[in-house]
Structure 1
Amino acid sequence: MKKKKLLQCHNGLDKSVKTTMQEYDAALKACGIGLFHVRLLCTSFVAMVSGIVITNTSPYVLPVAECDLDMNLLQKGLLNAMPYTGMILVSIIAGFLTDTFGRKPFILFGFGGLFIFTIISGLSQTYIVLVIAKFFEGLLFAISFTPVVSLTSEFCHNGIRDRILFLQSSFASISQIIVSLVSWAVLPNDWKSVYFNGALVINTWNYYLFIMSLWSGMACFLYTFLPESPKYYITQKRYEDAREILIKIYKQNTRKPVETYPYANIWKDKITLKTDESAENKANTSFSHMLSVGLYNVKPIFHKPLGLYVLLFCTTNFFIMNMFNVIRLWFPQLSTIVEHYAKEESQDLCVMLDAYTQDLRVKNLNSTQDKICVPNVSGTETYINTVVLGIVCCVPYIIGGVLVNKVGKKNLFIVCGTVCASTTFGLRWVNSKIAMVALFSTTVALAQMLMSLNQFLVVDHFPTTTR
C-alpha cells in the first residue's frame, strides 16, 4: 500500500499537490469579480461589434451600392465571401503565433489594421478596391479574434468561465442589432459628396462604412489599457509577470491592499535569482527559441487523442459556419427581395427568388448605355426584420447560460443542432413574411449558439499551449 502511494506521488497523481494551472485558477478565484472584469467585457464587446461589422455591413451595402459598383449576383456573393477568405488563409497561423508570442500584440495589430482597411473600404470607388479591402479586413480580424476569446477566458476561473464566455458570445447578437439600427439610420439617406472634380465620390454607403470603422479603432484603443494574459506568461515560465498582473486584478476588483491577497507570494519558489532570471529570459525570448517552443506545443495535435478531436471539431465547425453565414449574410438581401416581390397570394421563397432573378435577366438583355440603374433599396421592413433577428439571437444565450451547467455542453449541442437543421430545412416552404423572419431568426440564433458551444468544447478538450 505504501509502495502504491509512493508510485502515485512519483507519477504526479497526488491530489494534494496543486499544479501551476490549478494554483492560477485558485489565484483568479481569490481576485473575485469586479471592475477589471467589467472593463474586460466592455472592451471585448467593442471588439465583437467591430468583427460583426466586417461581415454584416456587406449585406446591407449590396442593395444600395449595386448600381454604383455595377454588381451582379455573383459579384455580390464574392463580396460577402472575401472576409472569410482572408480569415481562412491566416486563422491557423494566427492561432499558432498568438500562443507563441502572446495575445495582446496580435489584438492591437489586428484591430489597428482593421481600422485602416475599413477606412479604405469607405474610400473605394470601384468593386475591385472594395473586394480587396474586405479580404484584408477578414485577414486582420482573424489575427485579432482568436486572442480576444483566449484573453477573456484566461482572465476567468473555472467556476465562471462558461457563463462569461456565453455572455461574450451573446455580444454577437447584440452587435447585429446595433449594426441593423445604424444601417437603418444611415443607408436610407441620400448623401453624396464629390471631391477632386469627380475623382472621389462619397455616397451614402461610403459614409456608412466610415461610421462603422470607428468600432475597430475604439477596440484597438481600449485593448491598450488591458494587460497580457497571465496564463500566457505561465506557459512562457514568466511567473513574476503573471503574479504582478494577478495582484493588479485583485486590487482593481476588491479595492484592498496587496497584503490582504492570499496569493501575493504565489510562485515565489519558481522565480530564480535576478541575474539568472535575466540571462535565462534573454535566451528564452529569442525569436528562434519561441518559434521552436511553439512548434513543440503544436506537436500533440497530430497524436491521439487530440488528433481525432481536431478532426471532429473542425468538421462540425465547418458545417455550422457554412450554414450560419449563408443564412445570415444573405438575409438582408433576401428580405429586400421579399419586400419588393411578395404578392397578395401565397408564394414560397423560391418563387420570389425566381421572379427576382428573372427580372435581372430581363434588365441585362434590355440594358443600354443611356439607361439609368435604379437599385432595389432596402425599406423599413427589412431593417425591422434584421433587428428582430438580432433580438431572437439573444434568447438562446439566456436559456443556454442557465442550462449549460445542468444539461451539459454536449447535450445542449445535440439538441440545438437537431432543431437548427429542422428550421433550415423548413425555409424551402416559407410562404409568408412572418414565417420567413421566424425561421431565419431561429436558424441563425441556434447556429450562433452551436458555434459558441463548439468553441467551449474546444477549450475543454485542448490545453492552453495547443488551443
Structure 2
Amino acid sequence: MVVKTNSVSFEEALNLTGFGKFNFLMQLLVFGLIMGMAFEIMSVAYLVPASACELHTTSFEQGLMAGMPILGIIATSHFWGYLADTRGRKKILTCCMSLGFLTGASAALSPDWIVFSVLKFLSSGAVSGTYALSLTLLSECTPQRRRSIMIALTSSVYLGSAGLMAVISIPVLQMHFSYVIPYLNMEFTPWRLLNLVFTIPLALVAVGMYFSYESPRFLLSIGEEEKALKVLKGIYMMNTGNNGEDYNVSSVVFDEDKHKQTSGFWSSIVAQTVPLVKPPLLKNTLMLSVMFVIVYFGINPFLTWLPYIADGLMKAIERGDDNLSFCDMLRSSHNETVTENKDCSLNSVAMVIVFVISFIIATLNTILSSIINYIGRKRMLIGVQLFSGIAGLCITLTDSWVASTVLLVAFMTGVLNFGFLFTFSVDIFPTYVKAMSVCLTLMVGRGSSVFGINILKHLLVDDCELAFYIFGGLTFLGGIFGLLLPADKKIVTKKPTET
C-alpha cells in the first residue's frame, strides 16, 4: 500500500521515484553525449598526423592544430554554463550537439590547416560544455545513493572512446582513394572520411536529447514546481511501471537558495559568476580549479598524444630499434618523419595498442567506480593520483621499453580522476550555479592542458626524459593537494524532513 506523502524535500522526492529503466536510459544518453564530445575533441589526435601529407603541416603547425579544441573549450565553457543555469540543461545540450555536428562535419572539407583549425575551434567550442552539463543533468536525475557511482562510470565512456576511435581509424586510414573537389580546391581523402565518421554520434545524441526530460531540480530552482512534479512523476512511472497517480508527492520543498532573476544578458552572467568568486563558495572554486589544473595538465596531454607515442614505438620496433630505451625509440621515429616517407597513415598495431590501453583503463574505472562508495571518493582520488605520479616518475628509470610501456599505462590511470573529481563538483555547489561552477572549474583545468599539449610534443622530441619528470612530478603533487578536498561526509545532502 502506498503511503500518502504531502510535502518533501527534493532529494526525498527523487528517491521516491525509484531506480530503474529511466535511470539506465538517462545513463545511456549521457554516455552518448560524452562519446560524441570525446570523438570531436580527441579527433585531432588521429586527424592531425593523418592529414600531414596532404596539408603539408610542420611540427609547430600540428601542435597548434591539436591545441585548437582546448582553446575552443576555454572560449565557451563559461558561456554554456551560464545558459544551462538560466535556460535549462536539456535545451542547451541539444543546441551544443547540433552545432558541434555542423561545424565538426564541415572540417572534413578544409582546404588547408588554418581552416581546419578554425572549424575545430568552433566545433569544440560548441561541445565544450557537454561533459559538465551532462554530468549535472545526470546528477540531478539520479537518487543520491547511486549518484557517485553513476557519475564516476561516465569516465569509462570517455576513456573507452579514445580506444574506439583508434579501432575505427584503422580500416578508414588504410583506404586508398582521392576525389578532387575543384570548387573547394581540395581532395577528399581517407582522413576526411574519418573526420565525418567521428561526428556521427553528435547527430544521434542531439535527437535523443531533444526527446529527453529536463532536470527536475533545475525546474524547481526557477520556481517551476508543477513542471518539476510532472517530470518526477514521469520518472516514477518509467522506473516502477505504476500509474502517475501512485506517486503521492503533492509538493516539493527546494532546500537551497533560489536563483534571483536579473535583467540583461551581461548582468545575468555576472550574477551567475560572482557567487563563485566570493565567500562562501570561493574556497571550493579555488580548490577545485587547482585540482582540475593538476589533473588535466599532468595527464590530458598524454591522452592527446597517445596515438603519436604508440605509433612512434611500433615504427621503431619495425625498423629493429627495439634495443633502444623508450625515449630513444620515440626520437628515432621522429627523425624519420612521415612526410619524408609520404606515408601519413598511423600504424595499425599501434592503434590496436591504443585501444587495449584505453580498454584496460576504462575497465579499471568501471571497477573502481563500482566500489567508490565503500572506499570513499576522496581516498580513491588521492590513491589514484599518487599511484599515477609515481609511475610517471619511474618511466625513464629503466632501459627496457617494455617496462617503460607498462609504467606508461600505469601513469595513464591518472585520467580516472577526471570523473572522480566531477563527483565533488556536482555536490558542493548549489543548483542555481552548479552548471556554471562545473564548467568554470573544468575550463580552468582544460585551459592549462593547452600548454601541456604543446609542451609535451616538443619535450618528447627534444628532452623526453624531462617530460616524464615534469608531468609525473606534478601528478604526484596533485595527490598531496587532494588532502585538502572536503571529506565525503561533509558533502552529503541533508536528510529530508517530512511534513
TM-score, length basis structure 1: 0.84
Distance 2:163 2:61 in 1: 26
Work out which structure has the larger RCO, using CA pairs closer than 8 Å and 6 or more positions apart in sequence. 2
What residue in structure 2 maps to residue 137 of structure 1?
Answer: 123
1:194 aligns to what SS in structure 2?
strand
1:420 to 388, 396, 415: 388
Count the aligned residue pairs: 424
Tell whether the 8 Å contact from 2:108 to 2:196 is kept in structure 1 after alignment.
yes
Tell whether the 8 Å contact from 1:100 to 1:290 is kept in structure 2 after alignment.
no
2:214 aligns to what SS in structure 1?
coil
Distance 1:350 1:434 in 2: 12
In the alignment, does 2:291 pair up with 1:316? yes
Equivalent positions of 1:96-175 (< 5 A) are 96-175=82-161
Tell whether the 8 Å contact from 1:46 to 1:219 is kept in structure 2 after alignment.
yes
Cα displacement (A) at 1:297: 5.0
Tell whether the 8 Å contact from 2:107 to 2:116 is kept in structure 1 after alignment.
yes
1:326 to 298, 301, 304: 301
Tell whether the 8 Å contact from 1:101 to 1:290 is kept in structure 2 after alignment.
no
In the alignment, does 2:201 pair up with 1:195? no
1:427 aligns to what SS in structure 2?
helix
Tell whether the 8 Å contact from 1:110 to 1:144 is kept in structure 2 after alignment.
yes
What residue in structure 2 maps to residue 304 of structure 1?
Answer: 279
Cα displacement (A) at 1:345: 5.1
2:166 to 151, 173, 180: 180
Change (3 A) 1:137 1:289: closer
In the alignment, does 2:53 pair up with 1:76? no
Q: Deviations over 1:33-57 (max 9, x none)?
A: 2222222122111111111112322
What residue in structure 2 maps to residue 9 of structure 1?
Answer: none
Bigger Rg, which one: 1
Distance 1:462 1:146 in 2: 13
2:188 aligns to what SS in structure 1?
strand
1:266 aligns to what SS in structure 2?
strand
Structure 1 unaligned regions, length at least 5: 1-17, 271-283, 365-371
What residue in structure 2 maps to residue 13 of structure 1?
Answer: none
Tell whether the 8 Å contact from 2:311 to 2:351 is kept in structure 1 after alignment.
no
What residue in structure 1 maps to residue 356 of structure 2?
Answer: 388
Distance 1:108 1:310 in 2: 27
Cα displacement (A) at 1:173: 2.2
Change (3 A) 1:132 1:432: farther
2:251 to 250, 254, 266: 266
In the alignment, does 2:204 pair up with 1:218? yes
Distance 1:130 1:431 in 2: 39
What residue in structure 1 maps to residue 496 of structure 2?
Answer: none
TM-score, length basis structure 2: 0.79
In the alignment, does 2:409 pair up with 1:452? no
Cα displacement (A) at 1:303: 2.9
Cα displacement (A) at 1:154: 0.5
The residue type paired with residue 159 of structure 1 is: R
The residue type paired with residue 314 of structure 1 is: S
Q: Which moved more, 1:290-299 or 1:200-209?
A: 290-299
Structure 2 unaligned regions, length at least 5: 435-499
Q: Which moved more, 1:113-122 or 1:175-184?
A: 175-184
Equivalent positions of 1:295-444 (< 5 A) are 295-296=270-271, 298-342=273-317, 343-344=320-321, 346-360=323-337, 374-429=342-397, 431-432=399-400, 434-444=402-412
Distance 2:129 2:362 in 1: 26
The residue type paired with residue 448 of structure 1 is: V
1:422 aligns to what SS in structure 2?
helix
Tell whether the 8 Å contact from 1:94 to 1:143 is kept in structure 2 after alignment.
yes
2:180 aligns to what SS in structure 1?
strand
Q: Deviations over 1:15-66 (max 9, x none)?
A: xxx998x621112112112222222122111111111112322112233211
Tell whether the 8 Å contact from 1:104 to 1:228 is kept in structure 2 after alignment.
yes
Equivalent positions of 1:282-293 (< 5 A) are 288=263
Tell whether the 8 Å contact from 1:63 to 1:375 is kept in structure 2 after alignment.
no
Q: Percent identity?
A: 20
Tell whether the 8 Å contact from 1:55 to 1:80 is kept in structure 2 after alignment.
no
Tell whether the 8 Å contact from 2:173 to 2:194 is kept in structure 1 after alignment.
yes
Tell whether the 8 Å contact from 2:178 to 2:188 is kept in structure 1 after alignment.
yes
The residue type paired with residue 312 of structure 1 is: M
Distance 2:242 2:184 in 1: 62
